[in-house]
Amino acid sequence: MDFDLDPTQRELRELAAGLLDRRATTERLEAHDRSGAPYDADLWKALGRAGLLSACLPEKVGGAGLGPIELAVILREIGAHVAPVPAYASLALAAVPLALHGAPAQQEPLAGLAEGETVLTGAWREPGPVGGVGAVARREGRGHLLDGVKTFVPYAEQADWILIPARVEDAGVGVFLVEREAVRLDPHPAATGEPMSRLALEGVPVAPDRLLGGRADGAAWRTLRRSAVAGAVAQVSGVVAGALKITTGHLGEREQFGRKLAQFQAVTMQIGDVYIAGRALDAALWAGVWRLAEQAADVDEVLAIAAFNACGPALEALYTCQHLHGGIGLDIAYPLHRYFAWGKHYAHLLGGAEAQLDAVADALAAVD
């Protein structure tokens, strides 16, 4: 199996990495932390001008029409630079389902996203098991009323539109495009420091033209759920790569007992374990997004394996990076803390390693 990126994907990676190397430096990240802003609006617009936000959008709204692999390339670089922008929320949780299932009128918000002028998000998590949908959509005339609770919704306060999955009576799960002002938002703190919200849905009215594709057949929800998992794994893959880079640099410079830390056998074995965890996660990520691009029958199984690696071995690798730094690894004034916080956050968002093992078992059972 060949996981090498093709020329277009490599150019996309180089473009994203180059821009973020310049615009997401440690100094800029620290300045952003002091500002109290929900995200770096200048960087968000710069990503739009570079075409990175539109790369995976439909051509009819000014995008390049690329797919899951290219989106993973972009989100991985966002994670590698722990860039404070709503890329995961806007692209993985909103743009992908809108692009694949939205009617032309429903896709109008994508034009603003392409320019970095708009923020979108999706509410894919609820209390309880990952992937469950307890929210309901009751018919009211030609439209619906939404009831339920959604958790861990990133950038909901800043978003113009929120995608909300709900079970439609006498049908399946549908995804509704809902204006932010129609929903009650409560703060939901996150380890990353990014704004997140709990959504309380209490008879929220939704017009009939806001059901994606006009159907509640579960298709849009499957796309949203799979894109949410793949995007989270891509971010964690980048986070591990970024933490490994910082840690190897530290080990090559720090001395103990007159020797570089990198010269101690125990240290090399531990940093080797981090490298292996990162490589394993990368292999699982590219396998998952490739199967997603192919719409393969085993896509849920492969994505769950990738998510397990992100929640289990990858998180353990980040603990190791902290350990190898000694006390400085716990200092929030040191860059490593951002990577650990991001990794921990996405492990929680994905439900943890045990939940993903359950997801693997469910996917295998569905095949049988």
At 236-263, the pLDDT tens digits run 999 999 999 999 998 888 777 778 877 7
Q: What six digits make up the tokens of 240?
A: 């591990």
95 and 230, same domain (yes or no):
no
Q: What is the pLDDT of residue 125?
A: 96
**Confidence check: pLDDT of 57 > 90:** yes
pLDDT bucket at 2, cuts 50 / 70 / 90: low
Q: What is the pLDDT of residue 100?
A: 95
93 and 25, same domain (yes or no):
yes
DSSP 3-state assignment of 125? Answer: strand
Q: What is the pLDDT of residue 368?
A: 58
Last residue of a domain, one of 104, 119, 134: 119
- Could you report the per-residue pLDDT of 190-236, keeping only the tens digit for each? 888 899 999 999 999 999 999 999 999 999 999 999 999 999 999 99
Q: What six digits make up the tokens of 25?
A: 């430096």
Last residue of a domain, one of 214, 248, 280: 214
Enumerate helices (H) and strands (E) in the chain, giving the number of each.
Answer: 13, 9
First to last CA, the chain: 25
The beta strand positions in 119-208, using DSSP E, are: 120-122, 136-140, 143-154, 161-168, 173-179, 184-187, 196-206
348 and 251, same domain (yes or no):
yes
Last residue of a domain, one of 119, 143, 175: 119
Enclosing domain of residue 141: 122-214
340 and 246, same domain (yes or no):
yes
- Could you report the per-residue pLDDT of 289-327, keeping only the tens digit for each? 999 999 999 999 999 999 999 999 999 999 999 999 987
- Could you report the per-residue pLDDT of 153-176, keeping only the tens digit for each? 999 999 999 999 999 988 999 999
Distances (CA, A) of 3 to 80, 242, 275: 19, 20, 17
List 175's β-bridge partners, or say none.
165
pTM of the model: 0.95
Average pLDDT, the chain: 93
236 and 343, same domain (yes or no):
yes
**Confidence check: pLDDT of 1 > 60:** no
Cα–Cα distance measured from residue 83 to residue 299, given in angstroms and rounded to the nearest whole number: 28
List 167's β-bridge partners, or say none.
136, 173
